Amino acid sequence: MLTLIRGGRVVDPGNLDGMMDILIEDGRIVEIKDRESEGRGQRAEDRGQRTEGRGSGVKVIDAFGKIVTPGLIDMHVHLREPGHEYKETIKTGCMAAASGGFTAVCSMPNTNPVNDNSQVTEYILKKAGAADMIRVYPVAAISKGLKGKDLCEYADLKEAGAIAVSDDGHPVADSRLMRRALEYAKGFNLPVISHCEDIDLAECGVMNEGAVATRMGLAGIPNAVESIAVMRDIALCELTGARLHIAHVSTTESVRAIRNAKKRGAPVTAETAPHYFTLTEDTVDKYNTNAKMNPPLRSRQDRDAIIEGLADGTIDVIATDHAPHSSIEKEIEFDLAANGITGLETSVSLSLKLVENGLITITSLIEKMSTNPARILGIDNSLKLGNPADITIIDPDISFTVDANSFRSLSRNTPFDGWSMKGKAVLVMVNGQVIFER
Amino acid sequence: MEFTKKDILDMESLSVDEIALILNTAKRMKEVSERPVKKVPTLRGKTVVLFFYEPSTRTRISFDIAAKRLSADSLSISGSSSSMVKGETLTDTVRNLEAMSPDVIVLRHSSAGAPHMLARLVKPSIINAGDGMHAHPTQSLLDLMTVMENKGSINGLRIAIIGDISHSRVARSNIVGFTKMGAKVVLAGPLTMIPKGIEALGASVADNADDAVCGADVIMMLRIQKERQKSNLFPTEREYSKVYGLTKKRVKRAGSDVLIMHPGPVNRGVEIAPEVADGPYSIILDQVTNGVAIRMAILYLITSVSDSRRHAEC
């Protein structure tokens, strides 16, 4: 079976950029041809002849005017299974990811039971295999039960399929444990993903500290809650030489600390989420629980610093921190509502807005949504001959209105419902199989 | 002017005209409480539910008396006596109340924004009787009324509010309310209790209690909660009282006809010296008296809105 992706602009940062055709056979990329170096209009015929010669049909995917990229990877997703299947299952999460343009996601370990042993990792992979859609890379816990006390068995977890470790949602408060985690994980080449938060300083805060929180009578979370932890983890990263990835960066001070650490050559990488470069604390107005997340939406100045960090490469990755919750957790009093919003089905469009506004290039966007996550996780995801055909096709011009009720995700907790957006993924292919097409 | 608000949620959402209307109406209502027969039939047939999820004595009784003096049927439920202890959500509890057709629900809740959420969801009028650290509009209105009675006008007055501003819904509502009516609000308290960005509400922050009190027309002392000591917001009551407490000596720095206010309950000897609380400048009990009048005015105005709305729907 042959598939031809024809006429799109292929953007694979550091590898390809141009109008190219990609031929896929048995799930793998077998040919990439530059359309500009050859006569136009003959490509399809060539393929046709070649296909006839082989005696099977060719599926032609028209990608004129579209962007063809290596499959997008969201390295920060809460799939909620096992344990919270009413919010999301591995299957619905995979469907949401596919419809958002992703060919792979990392699933965070704060399930019930916690993914802190190989059996849970295997369970997740079994379910993902049964869903048979996108790739799921389980992130295992740093510490047993996410309790910040005892290390998990990283060798065993890696053998079972874990791709990184993180106590996401629960910061590792104990600096000595964090040091040991970084050192021990380094031995297995597992990146440590850190949720940076000084929980004592955060106290009972529910939104960004500042005039908006004060006016609304809500307890605030100052920026230092995050940057203190970022700076500590950078110090431990430099102490151990282990790879550190900082999750969901939201503040000016964190961006500055990461930028300086990178200048010194520390092996640190960082991600942010679309809501941190799109929204500010003002969205919390009227006690909107779909604007409640941790870290919280920050000030305008912080949002601008995040965009600057994305533009200058300080922030390597755009990940969604997709955190589905049901109405039970969200349609309640603001201070009691759960943190987090869904992100898989709005991420590409929100990120394309940065390109449209001239803040980053499309190449940089693909780097942050595919190339860099792949590099950090140690996956070869690029469009090379012989590689599995994990491909996303983006139509940058398609306009639409977000309708949370049409989400594939089981949950609807998004602050972007009703937003007008431009640009989205129109086709997603994993192993050469089209798993989503608009 | 006709009152058109369905709910009373906070001082920010009330206009200057609406505040003036409430204060004027309260003046007439106060007269009812001074009669030998303290009851008028105005709200006969109306049902007012007092839903106090958080404990309260003064505010709940004040609303209850206000409703009864207007002949409304009022009933009280508390968080611990409601189905919420059985795990029912606030929304479900209030929807169930709604199904029994009350006209007004007076809500006291520990979560900021809880009345706002319910106001969007249910038909009865919601009156916020205090939501977390956010707002306590009826307290602010009764404070405005009490100052107005004594000073004739709010415009141009200097109001000092001293104490735990961070955790005080009374402070927030009064900063908004008094500023809106033309007063200048000056705050003082330990910096651990002055929230970030409070100036955006229109207040200024004095360096210390003496500066705040200096030349003040009104001094409003806030209750200091002993639990705050545990979170290290202040080291001891002794030091708090010394630095921020309102003593006779400190009162002397204010204007000669200063008014001393306190939303209660008072910690005698901590934020306010007994001789100041009971002294000639104190209008603390007038505040309580006017609380009934303000709540009568609000119940009256808000139910008349519901009536016209109901007519509109016919």
Q: Do A220 and B131 touch (CB under 8 A)?
A: no
Amino acid A157: pLDDT: 98
- Sheet containing strand B218-221, edge to edge, reads B204-205, B184-188, B158-162, B218-221, B259-261
- The Cα B73–Cα B104 span in angstroms is 10
Is B36 found in the same domain as B77?
Answer: yes
pLDDT of residue A151: 98
Task: Answer whether residue B89 is part of any domain.
Answer: yes
Same-domain status, B42 and B125:
yes
pLDDT for the residue numbered A56 = 62
Q: Is A286 on the interface with B (CB under 8 A)?
A: yes
Taking the CA of residue B73 and the nearest CA in chain A, the distance in Å comes to: 28
Given A116, A302, A321, A395, which residue is catalytic?
A321
* Cβ neighbours of B111 in A, within 8 Å: 333-336
CB contact (8 A) between residue B91 and residue A287: no
Q: Is A204 on the interface with B (CB under 8 A)?
A: no
Between B89, B134, B199, which is nearest A216 by CB? B134
Given this model, what pLDDT does residue A19 score? Answer: 97
Binning pLDDT at 50, 70 and 90, where does residue B126 land? very high
Residue of A nearest to B121 (CA): A331
Q: What is the pLDDT of residue A48?
A: 47
Strand A16-25 and strand A28-34: pairing? antiparallel
For B195, which residue in chain A has the nearest alpha carbon?
A214
pLDDT at B244 over 70: yes
Mutate to test the interface with A, among B9, B11, B134 (most CBs of A within 10 A): B134
Same fold, A2-67+386-437 and A71-377: no
Measured in angstroms, the CA of A327 and the nearest CA of chain B are apart by 11
Q: In angstroms, rounded to a whole number, what is the distance separating the alpha carbons of residues A172 and A144?
A: 11
Q: Is B116 close to A212, i.e. CB distance below 8 A? A: no
**Both B260 and B119 in a single domain?**
no
Q: Quick check: bond before A113 cis, omega within 30?
A: yes
Q: Supply the DSSP symbol for A38.
A: S
Residues 6 or more apart from B239 whose CB is under 8 A from it?
A: none
Residues A217, B135: C-beta atoms closer than 8 Å = yes
Which CATH number belongs to the domain containing residue B281 in this structure?
3.40.50.1370
- Chain A residues closer than 8 Å to B177 by CB: none
Residue B80 — very low, low, confident or very high, per pLDDT cuts 50/70/90? confident
Interface with chain A: mutation pick from B89, B109, B139, B176, highest number of A CBs within 10 Å: B89
> Which segments of A218-371 does DSSP mark as H helices, in order?
224-240, 252-263, 274-278, 300-311, 327-330, 347-356, 362-366
Asked if B91 and B167 sit in the same domain, the reply is: no
d(CA A210, CA B281): 36
Residue B183 contacts residue B155 (beta carbons within 8 Å) = yes
At residue A38, the pLDDT reads 62
**Nearest-angstrom CA–CA distance, A193 and A243:** 9
Do B113 and A216 make contact, defined as CB atoms within 8 angstroms? yes
**Residue-range domain boundaries for chain A:** 2-67+386-437, 71-377
Residues B203 and B147 occupy one common structural domain: yes
Specify whether the CB–CB gap between A216 and A197 falls below 8 A.
no
Residues in B touching A224 (Cβ below 8 Å): none
Specify whether B146 is located in the same domain as B111: no
Instruction: Tell me the shortest Cα–Cα distance from A404 to chain B, in angstroms.
Output: 20
Beta-carbon contacts of A340 under 8 Å, excluding residues fewer than 6 positions away, are A78, A292, A293, A294, A321, A323, A324, A325, A413
Chain A residues with CB under 8 Å of B200 CB are 211, 214-215
pLDDT tens, N- to C-terminus, chain A (438 residues): 899 999 999 999 999 999 999 999 999 999 999 987 765 444 544 554 444 445 468 999 999 999 999 999 999 999 999 999 999 999 999 999 999 999 999 999 999 999 999 999 999 999 999 999 999 999 999 999 999 999 999 999 999 999 999 999 999 999 999 999 999 999 999 999 999 999 999 999 999 999 999 999 999 999 999 999 999 999 999 999 999 999 999 999 999 999 999 999 999 999 999 999 999 999 999 999 999 999 999 999 999 999 999 999 999 999 999 999 999 999 999 999 999 999 999 999 999 999 999 999 999 999 999 999 999 999 999 999 999 999 999 999 999 999 999 999 999 999 999 999 999 999 999 999 999 999
Which chain B residue's Cα is nearest to A333? B114
Look up A321 and say whether it is catalytic. Answer: yes
What residues does A67 pair with on adjacent strands?
Answer: A9, A394
The separation between the first and the last C-alpha atoms of chain B, rounded to the nearest angstrom, is 24
For the CA atoms of B87, B88, B90, B94, the dihedral, rounded to the nearest 10 degrees, stands at -150
Confidence band of B227 (pLDDT split at 50, 70, 90): confident
Which DSSP letter does residue B49 get? E
A350's tokens: 């929100």
What pLDDT score does B86 carry?
A: 74
Cα nearest neighbour of B169 on chain A: A217
Provide mean pLDDT across the span B179-203: 97
Q: How far is B10 from chain A (nearest CA, A)?
A: 10
**pLDDT given at position B306:** 59
**Candidate from A211, A217, A334 with C-beta closest to B200:** A211
Put simply, the answer to whether A211 touches B114 (Cβ < 8 Å) is no
Asked if A214 and B197 come within 8 Å (Cβ–Cβ), the reply is yes
For the residues of A168-216, what is the DSSP string, one character each? Answer: TTS----HHHHHHHHHHHHTTTPPEEE----HHHHTT--EESSHHHHHH
User: Rounded to a whole number, what is the distance in Å from the CA of B118 to chain A's nearest CA?
Assistant: 9
Q: What span, in angstroms and rounded, lies between the C-alpha atoms of A172 and A53? A: 60
Do B129 and B141 belong together in one domain? no
Kindly report the nearest CA distance between residue B188 and chain A, in angstroms: 16
Instruction: Give yes or no: residues B183 and B82 share one domain.
Output: no
pLDDT of residue B225: 85
Say how far apart CA B278 and CA A68 lie, in whole Å: 79
Chain A positions in Cβ-Cβ contact with residue B89 (cut-off 8 Å): 332
Tell me how close the Cα of A244 comes to any Cα of chain B, in angstroms: 33
Q: Model-level pTM greater than 0.90?
A: yes
Average pLDDT over residues B245-257: 95
* Dist CA B187 CA B204 (whole Å): 6
Is the per-residue pLDDT at B260 higher than 70? yes
Count CB pairs under 8 A between chains A and B.
72
**B 164-223 residues inside an 8 A Cβ radius of A:** 169, 172, 195-201
Read off the pLDDT of residues B271-306 as tens digits, 9 standing for 90 and up. 999 999 999 999 999 999 999 999 999 999 999 985
Could you read off the pLDDT of B14-24 as tens digits, one per residue? 999 999 999 99
Instruction: Count structural domains, chain B.
Output: 2
In which domain, by residue range, is B251 found? 137-287
Judged by CB atoms closer than 8 Å, whether chains meet at B198 and A332 is answered as no
Residues B276 and B307 reside in one and the same domain: no
The fold adopted by the segment(s) A71-377 is TIM Barrel (3.20.20)
* Residue B308: band (very low, low, confident or very high) from pLDDT cuts 50, 70, 90: low
Tokens of B52: 């106090």
* A2-67+386-437 CATH: 2.30.40.10
Q: Do both B164 and B124 map to the same domain?
A: no
Q: How far is A297 from chain B (nearest CA, A)?
A: 16
Q: Do B200 and A215 touch (CB under 8 A)?
A: yes
A139 neighbors A162 (Cβ within 8 angstroms): yes
CA angle at B273 for the pair B268 and B279, rounded to the nearest 5°: 110
Sheet of B73-78: strand order equals B73-78, B47-52, B104-109, B125-131
**Residue A7: which residues within 8 A CB-CB, separation 6 or more?**
A19, A21, A35, A62, A63, A64
Q: Which of A222, A286, A332 sits opposite B90 (nearest CB)?
A: A332
Contacts of A209 in chain B (CB under 8 A): 196
Stretch 78-137 of chain B: residues touching chain A, C-beta under 8 Å = 89-91, 109, 111-114, 116-117, 131-135
Tell me which residue of A192, A191, A230 sits closest to A314, measured CA to CA. Answer: A230
Q: Residue A121: CB partners within 8 Å, gap ≥ 6?
A: A115, A138, A140, A157, A160, A161, A162
State the amino acid at position A308 in one-letter form: E
Q: Which of B111, B169, B195 sits opposite A335 (nearest CB)?
A: B111
How far is residue B239's CA from residue A175's CA, in Å, rounded to a whole number? Answer: 36
**Band of residue B313 on the pLDDT scale cut at 50, 70, 90:** very low
Give the A window 328-357 contacts with B, CB below 8 Å: 331-336
Interchain CB distance below 8 Å, B231 and A203: yes
A201: nearest CA in chain B?
B231
